[in-house]
């Protein structure tokens, strides 16, 4: 086991290292400034593994007599890491001189030196050195400066904890200090010390100062809360009195005290009053504390409280929504997530009304990341309206005012909400369709128009609605036919330009200015503004000219639906033929426009084929019954099935969460009053369990087989030095535990393990040289920092000196490849978010499918297992037998990097063909996942 080290100093590898003789000369003849630099170099050398025993006497002779405070502080750092015992375990003789210097510093007139020395004594573990210093430490308890006294208290606690026989009366000593001490920092240290060495005495002191607790400072009140937590494990503790004290501390002026008091209160009691008081305290903290990180921490605590006591704090939903006044978008997102879980039929009207007001404010006021906040509010209102149908009618019209939002995501969320409301609440269909048609001219983006056109095609169920919809479509397209009207507009512009050019030439006569020079007039600037006004076009026509022909195909499908439905509803053949001919004119106009010179790019074949299918359907109706049913029935049925599947999936997830939190009938019930005192005292409190999880040392034992799978052989069995490494990945760090074996019959001196890294890996410390006996073993640990999921490689060699002075040998190590799967976790997101990220991410890696797996579904499952990605495609879309299969997958790294994947597969005989497209914001994760798939797609593990 290596000695503990309390001070870490990074060594500068690029600087020349001084020899021991140079260091001795610098200590012997240098001035204080030079000695300070020399001591820093000595400490750095010792931290990196060189004990430097030759320098101990020079430090004692030439450094300890100095009065420089900086040098004395470095000396304390030196004594921390300096070996104080011989190889046989006995104290070095030189340390007797050092002990005398300790004693002098404990009696030094300067309070800083006394306090620093007392802090150093907390780290000493040699009773021979501590015993002569006990009287001086006792005297420091009565020093006039609080800095000395508070460090003396902790020094006594450390000595008593490790060597109780040196200060047998420590409990009585600290109790007396606690009574007579006036400084709050000293009282806090004394109270914490007393709680750790004698909890009953600490509780007795609390009872004596019960009325003064509210007047204590922050650190003292935190110490009181800690003692209450510890003493409440005792069955004989006055728990009701402690809860009363915690209630009073909820009104403290210190944020940290209020937070700890609220957390402690719900730990001690689950009564409704206690839970509500803790929740109110959390909300008050969020509102008052300016730090956004603290707000998020407290919101997480509030969410935990909701999960355990949701029924009790459901009435505080509106109080939680007040947190939306915070400008930070992450705080707002977390607040809305918590509030949505607390919405019930009793408070849904209030919640929706508040969210509507906030939504209106996003138009009038400029918030930080305003469009994202608006999208959050729209999604929240959407969730409430779908969950509670009675409020849908109140919010749907407000949200539809945002269909013309220039921010595409917000408008898309609104149109998706409108579609779901129309499907689930039939009584609102007529009013919503009319409101949608009123907003038609305000829409700006193709995705919103596509959703609106689909709604019109499916839910315009009366003759009046169909005629109104046709009128609105006509307004958004402009003059018909499309190509002819564009040609006329173009010719008019050319004629206008020629007239303007003629006028410009006529007016371009020389003019004599006041200074006698000539100038020519021009009307160019006036013409430019006129030309710009002429370019204003109806919205759908403008999108078609920008080559959005997917919108054109959706428009053709909508026109086909409303014409077919109009045939069923209307008996006037003339009106039917007029509507049908106009619809066919629009469709042919879209195709002709797409093939003309007026668009940015030529129309694609898929859109042409879809529009031609619509034309054939109208031309053959009503004879072709199959196509008619496909347009009027199948599309709507598919969407209805999708909504039902989403609801079913959400219900299953909710039921699964309930099962996970359910308590089984045969679970053990623990009664704290029936436990023995020994068991109560041995329980780990919440803080200790958090520390256990944070350090990664959980109670679950790791399987030996999983450990052996991470052992990598670095050298061959025939090499003079054998090495193997166990790769332990813990979040952002990689710990290499390397076993080195000397396979020769000679002693290997200065054996050094040299590492280099490739990628986003950083070696935190350099392994120190060692001497290895014949056939001896040695273990070296190396810590490597990881900063991204890019594939990293660790390579290096082992260098050692042989028997001769000039014999130096080198053994090259095998490369260690870091598996990025240790940093990638499955994640889930909505389809809208997936598409948004797919459009945004710029790095793409395309991997061709080349596998011996013959089943499409089995291949997707294998890829999911290989890449740790979650499949976003619903189960019903993957089921069944078909020669084609497509799926979307999503994962997220611990560094916050998103990874998207789209799989397109086709069955070709007994083999599978296709490709996998991976997209991410950074290049590293896209390439790493592509390499992982390429290496593993042929290997099917049983």
Structure tokens at 58: 């020079």
Q: Where are the alpha helices (DSSP H) in 508-572?
A: 524-534, 539-545, 549-569
Query: Looking at residue 587, what is its pLDDT?
Result: 87
Q: How far is CA 311 from CA 170, 278, 342, 803, in A?
A: 49, 15, 8, 77
Q: Is the pLDDT of residue 696 over 70?
A: no
DSSP state for residue 632 in the 8-state scheme: I
478 confidence band (pLDDT: 50, 70, 90): confident
Closest listed residue to residue 118, CA positions, set 153, 73, 70: 153
**Location of structure tokens 């003059």:** 479
Indicate whether this model's pTM tops 0.85.
no
Q: What is the pLDDT of residue 508?
A: 47
- The pLDDT of residue 692 is above 70: no
Tokens of 229: 């937590």
State whether residue 755 is helix, strand or coil: strand
Give strand ranges (E) for 759-804.
Answer: 761-763, 770-772, 777-786, 793-801
Could you give the CA distance from residue 895 to residue 920 in angstroms, rounded to a whole number?
Answer: 13
Is 67's pLDDT higher than 80? yes
pLDDT at 680: 40
- Which of 760 and 163 is assigned the larger pLDDT? 163
Give the tokens for residue 642: 């999708």
Mean pLDDT (the chain, rounded)? 79
**Residues of the chain above pLDDT 70, percent:** 83
Q: Answer yes or no: are the C-beta atoms of 563 and 579 closer than 8 Å.
A: yes
Determine the average pLDDT of the residues in 551-558: 87
- Whether 851 and 858 have beta carbons less than 8 Å apart is answered as no
Return the number of other C-beta atoms located less than 10 Å from residue 846's C-beta: 12
What single-letter DSSP state applies at residue 435?
Answer: H
The 3-class SS string of 512-525 reads ECCCCCEEECCCHH
> For position 338, what pLDDT does the model report?
87
What the block records as the tokens of 742 is 């000397």
The CA distance from 399 to 396, in Å, is: 5
CB distance 479 to 593 below 8 Å:
no
Q: Which two tokens stand for residue 738?
A: 């390397």
Residue 91 DSSP symbol? B
Going by the DSSP 8-state scheme, the letter that residue 766 receives in this structure is: P
- Cα(905)–Cα(398) distance, rounded to whole angstroms? 43
CA distance 105 to 109: 9
**Share above pLDDT 90 across residues of the chain, in percent, rounded to a whole number:** 1
How far is 254 from 596, CA to CA, in rounded Å?
72
Residue ranges of alpha helices (H) inside 322-405 are 329-341, 348-364, 370-387, 392-400
What pLDDT, in 10s, does the model give residues 881-911?
A: 777 888 899 988 877 788 899 998 888 878 8
Q: Is it the case that residue 39 has pLDDT exceeding 80?
A: yes
The Cα–Cα gap between 821 and 729 comes to 11
Residue closest to 440 by CA, chosen among 410, 420, 470: 470
| Segment 2-9 mean pLDDT | 49
Task: Output the CA–CA distances (angstroms, integers) from residue 506 to 509, 510, 518, 520, 835, in the order listed.
Answer: 7, 11, 16, 11, 57
- Taking phi over 0 as left and psi of -120 to 50 as alpha, with beta for the rest, 821 belongs to alpha
The closest of 348, 354, 268, 276 to 311, measured between CA atoms, is: 276
**Each residue's pLDDT tens digit, 249-302:** 888 888 888 998 888 888 888 888 888 888 889 888 888 888 888 888 888 888
Closest CA to 460 of 580, 585, 560: 560
Beta bridge partner(s), residue 742 = 721
> What's the rounded mean pLDDT across residues 875-880?
74
């Amino acid at each position: 086991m290596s000695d503990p080290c309390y001070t870490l100093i990074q060594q500068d590898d690029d600087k020349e290292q001084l020899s021991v003789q140079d260091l001795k000369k610098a200590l012997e003849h240098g001035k204080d400034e030079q000695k300070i630099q020399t001591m820093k170099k000595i400490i750095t050398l010792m931290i990196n593994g060189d004990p430097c025993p030759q320098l101990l006497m020079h430090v004692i002779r030439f450094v300890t007599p100095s009065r420089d405070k900086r040098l004395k502080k470095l000396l304390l750092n030196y004594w921390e890491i300096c070996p104080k015992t011989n190889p046989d375990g006995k104290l070095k003789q030189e340390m007797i001189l050092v002990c005398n210097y300790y004693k002098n510093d404990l009696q030094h007139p300067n309070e800083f030196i006394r306090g620093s020395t007392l802090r150093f004594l907390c780290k000493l573990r040699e009773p021979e050195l501590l015993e002569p210093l006990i009287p001086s430490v006792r005297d420091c308890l009565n020093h006039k400066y609080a800095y000395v006294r508070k460090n003396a208290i902790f020094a006594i606690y450390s000595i008593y904890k490790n060597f109780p026989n040196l200060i047998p009366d420590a409990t009585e000593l600290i109790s007396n200090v606690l009574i007579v001490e006036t400084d709050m920092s000293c009282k806090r240290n004394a109270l914490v010390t007393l709680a750790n060495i004698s909890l009953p005495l600490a509780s007795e002191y609390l009872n004596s100062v019960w009325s003064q607790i509210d007047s204590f400072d922050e650190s003292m009140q935190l110490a009181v809360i800690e003692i209450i937590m510890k003493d409440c494990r005792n069955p004989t503790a006055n728990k009701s009195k402690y809860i009363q004290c915690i209630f009073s501390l909820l009104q403290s002026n210190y944020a940290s005290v209020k937070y700890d008091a609220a957390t402690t209160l719900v730990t001690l009691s689950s009564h409704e009053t206690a839970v509500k008081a803790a929740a109110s305290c959390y909300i008050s903290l969020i509102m008052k504390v300016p730090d956004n990180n603290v707000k998020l921490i407290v919101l997480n605590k509030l969410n935990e409280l909701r999960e355990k006591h949701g029924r009790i704090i459901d009435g505080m939903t509106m109080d939680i929504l007040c947190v939306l006044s915070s400008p930070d978008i992450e705080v707002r997102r977390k607040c809305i997530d918590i509030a949505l879980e607390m919405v019930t039929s009793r408070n849904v009207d209030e919640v929706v009304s508040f969210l509507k007001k906030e939504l209106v404010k996003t138009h009038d006021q400029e918030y930080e990341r305003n469009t994202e906040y608006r999208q959050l509010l729209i999604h929240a209102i959407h969730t409430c309206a779908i969950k509670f149908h009675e409020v849908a009618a109140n919010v749907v019209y407000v949200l539809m005012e945002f269909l013309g939002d220039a921010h595409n995501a917000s408008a898309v969320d609104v149109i998706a909400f409108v579609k779901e409301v129309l499907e689930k609440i039939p009584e609102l269909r007529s009013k919503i369709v009319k409101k949608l048609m009123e907003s038609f001219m305000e829409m700006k983006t193709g995705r919103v128009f596509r959703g609106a056109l689909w709604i019109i095609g499916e839910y315009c169920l009366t003759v009046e609605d169909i005629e109104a919809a046709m009128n609105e479509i006509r307004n958004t397209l402009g003059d018909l036919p499309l190509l002819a009207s564009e040609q006329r507009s173009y010719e008019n512009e050319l004629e206008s330009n020629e007239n303007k050019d003629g006028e410009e030439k006529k007016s371009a006569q020389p003019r004599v200015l006041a200074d006698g020079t000539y100038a020519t007039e021009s009307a160019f600037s006036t013409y430019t503004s006129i030309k710009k006004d002429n370019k204003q076009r109806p919205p759908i026509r403008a999108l078609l000219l920008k080559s959005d022909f997917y919108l054109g195909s959706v428009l053709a499908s909508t026109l086909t639906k409303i014409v077919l439905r109009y045939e069923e509803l209307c008996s006037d053949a003339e009106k039917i033929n007029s509507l049908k001919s106009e619809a066919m004119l629009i469709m042919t106009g879209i195709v002709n426009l797409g093939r003309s010179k007026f668009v940015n790019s030529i129309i694609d074949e898929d859109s042409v084929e879809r529009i031609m299918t619509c034309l054939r359907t109208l031309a053959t109706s009503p004879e072709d019954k199959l196509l008619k049913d496909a347009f009027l029935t199948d599309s709507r049925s598919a969407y209805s099935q999708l909504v039902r599947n989403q609801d079913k999936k959400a219900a299953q997830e909710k039921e699964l969460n309930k099962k996970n939190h359910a308590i089984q009938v045969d679970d053990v019930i623990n009664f704290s009053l029936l436990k023995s005192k020994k068991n109560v005292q041995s329980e780990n409190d919440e803080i200790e369990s958090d520390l256990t999880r944070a350090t990664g040392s959980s109670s679950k034992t790791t399987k030996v087989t999983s450990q052996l799978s991470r052992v990598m052989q670095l050298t061959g069995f025939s090499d003079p030095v054998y090495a193997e490494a166990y790769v332990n990945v813990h979040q952002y760090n990689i710990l290499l535990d390397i076993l080195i074996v000397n396979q020769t019959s000679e002693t290997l001196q200065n054996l050094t393990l040299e590492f280099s890294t490739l990628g986003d890996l950083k070696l935190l410390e350099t392994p120190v040289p060692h001497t290895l006996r014949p056939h001896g073993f040695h273990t070296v640990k190396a810590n490597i920092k990881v900063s991204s999921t890019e594939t990293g490689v660790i390579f290096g060699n082992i260098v050692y000196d042989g028997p001769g002075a000039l014999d130096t040998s080198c053994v090259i190590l095998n490369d260690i490849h870091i598996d990025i799967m240790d940093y990638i976790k499955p994640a889930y997101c909505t389809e809208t978010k997936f598409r948004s990220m797919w459009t945004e991410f710029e790095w793409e890696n395309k991997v061709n499918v080349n596998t011996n797996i013959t089943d499409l579904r089995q291949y997707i499952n294998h890829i999911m297992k290989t890449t740790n990605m979650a499949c976003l495609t619903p189960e019903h879309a993957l089921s069944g037998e078909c020669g084609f299969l497509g799926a979307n997958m999503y994962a997220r790294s611990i560094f916050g990097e998103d990874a998207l994947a789209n799989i397109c597969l086709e069955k070709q005989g007994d083999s599978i063909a296709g490709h996998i497209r991976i997209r991410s914001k950074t290049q590293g994760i896209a390439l790493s996942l592509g390499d992982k798939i390429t290496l593993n797609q042929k290997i099917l593990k049983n």
